[in-house]
Amino acid sequence: MLKGKVAVITGGTRGIGYATVKKFLENGATVVLFGSRQETVDKALASLKEENSEWPVEGACPDLADADAVAAQINAVKEKYGRLDILVNNAGISDSTPTVSCTAEHFEKVMSLNVNAIFHAVLPAVAIMKEQGGGCIISTSSMVSRNGQPAGVAYPTSKFAVNGLTLSLARELGPYHIRVNAVAPGITRTDMVAALPDEVIQPMIQAIPLRRVGEPEDVANAFLFLASDLAGYVTGEVLSVDGAMIC
């Protein structure tokens, strides 16, 4: 589904990001994954190469808070491979700090990692995609971007911003054949969720009509669809992958 495509995936060393890297590789893409540290990048690459030593994958760890560092790394991908077809903005942090305990500095940190970092990657990617005649940008939102959450305002605010960025970019970049979408996962079996005790998980499951938490591959499948030509007329969408969970 992605044969011949070149993709950059931020936050690609574990969880949803890692599953998306693997899914893209299985479908013929060349992937450059970004991680927060060289150690985690190397570990992810070793795991992927163990599964298939022929997969065209490499990694880097630019500081996503540094616009110049991100631009340099994305431009390096273009210089090496001649193009950039897909940008997946998956890096970010979750947060549920109660508002009364949330300092201005903490709020800014969440917004920096969940919103500013996306914009830092979008800027160089858009320049490349406009020059080559098209491309695809997909960002990770969240189910709380639609309904908020009962504790903590920073995280849902950041994900509302991701949705706004997605819809606005889709309208602006459509004439350049650049599609822009987002995926909004629900409760997904990442390391953090897998570590929760059963008495915490079971009430969550009861609020999900499909009666199970999502798997990283469920979300990766959504990214694959939106990145592929099957979604060639889909832009400006925030695709929920949450089992219709009742918040």
In the DSSP assignment, the letter for residue 212 is S
In the DSSP assignment, the letter for residue 229 is G
Per DSSP, helices labelled H in 137-206 are 144-147, 154-173, 191-194, 198-206
CA gap 153, 131 in Å, rounded: 38
Q: 196, exposed or middle or buried, with CB in 10 Å at 0-12, 13-18, 19+?
A: middle
The candidate with the shortest Cα–Cα distance to 11, out of 29, 39, 35, is: 35
CA gap 240, 81 in Å, rounded: 32
Ramachandran angles phi, psi of 112, nearest 5°: -65, -45
CA gap 141, 88 in Å, rounded: 11
- H helix count then E strand count, the chain: 10, 7
Positions marked active-site: 155
